[in-house]
Amino acid sequence: MASRSKRRAVGDGAPRPPDAPAQRHEEEEDDEVEDQDEDDEEDSDEEEDEDDEEVRVDFEAYSISDNDHDGIKKLLQQLFLKAPVNTAELTDLLIQQNHIGSVIKQTDASEDSGDDEDEDEIFGFISLLSLTERKGTQCAEQIKELILSRCDQNCAKSVVDQLDKLLSDAAKPVGLLLSERFINVPPQIALPMHQQLQKELAEAHRTNKPCGKCHFYLLISKTFVEAAKNNSRQKRSSHQKDELVFANAEEEFFYEKAVLKFSYSVQEESDTRLGGRWAFDDVPMTPLRTVMLIPCGEMSGIMDRLEEHLSV
């Protein structure tokens, strides 16, 4: 699979100040200023061309393997931030059940860079962990506790009771759907990843393998909302879809089909040293996590929506 990625220029593009000039006549100075202005405009045009230059980057999906441990764990930490979730154990479980799930790597990365380490660098992954089948493992219990506690802080008691009942019903297994990638990887890559995962889950169901029997998918999505709206006294669970900005754009279609959904702020957990303060069009944004519970029967319609909007 192939995608396009923008190459960003490093630095602010400001011209280096010249050495102090010797004294000149006024006409000479005016001519030189005009020449300098023209040069600056040409330099600026060239820099803009470099900023807008598209570099073709080819990505390819691979089965999850032991070599992907560090990359998957890093992406899980990007999702859970400082929440008390054992991401190392979660990563190990995803690798063990490698009959489902994929990682995204750059095609022929080692040939382009000459660095053997780049060969194992992953740019994203997709997989699923059955919270019902993995009941009793530390990471599964921590994830359920995290979701329930955040729901209790942001939702009415009736919603908390509903979520608790759904997560505890062994007859209707809940699978944690994990689809993480770096922010500069375009959403078009999500379509083949989700399509492949659905095929693998159907095969797991047919052969009675782990994760093959899910009634609901639980999705924790990285979202943002305008800081002014998030500071209101209104419950965060009541954010409308048009107020939310999804880091993974395709997850908006999952949101539309969710039977239970709420959001909670991760402003205090976000590392502004790495990412700065989030803003879109100079509007300050508050980072959230939006939790969704989607019936598995809705996946066919969601996949149609993904294909409609992400096909290239």
Q: What is the pLDDT of residues 192-241, one digit of tens each?
A: 999 999 999 999 999 999 898 999 999 999 999 988 766 554 454 556 66
Cβ-based burial of 137 (10 A; exposed 0-12, middle 13-18, buried ≥19): middle
pLDDT value, residue 228:
72
pLDDT score of 18 more than 90: no
Match 């994990």 to its residue by tokens: 178
More confident residue, 62 or 43: 62
pLDDT band at 266 (very low <50, low <70, confident <90, very high): very high
Label residue 250 by pLDDT band (50, 70, 90).
very high
DSSP annotation of 118 reads G
Report yes or no: 263 and 291 within 8 Å, Cβ to Cβ: yes
Task: Give, for 226, the enclosing helix (H) or strand (E).
Answer: strand 216-226
- How would you class 33 by CB atoms within 10 Å of its CB: exposed for 0-12, middle for 13-18, buried for 19 or more? exposed
Measured distance CA(45)–CA(33) in Å, rounded: 18
What are the residue ranges of helices labelled H in the chain? 26-52, 69-80, 87-96, 109-113, 138-154, 157-168, 190-206, 227-230, 251-257, 272-275, 299-310
Q: For residue range 21-43, list pLDDT tens digits in order.
A: 344 444 444 555 455 555 555 55
Give dist(CA 105, CA 120) in Å, integer: 7
Distances (CA, A) of 258 to 124, 146, 217, 302: 24, 19, 9, 11
User: How many angstroms separate the CA atoms of 81 and 168, rounded?
Assistant: 25
pLDDT for the residue 8: 28
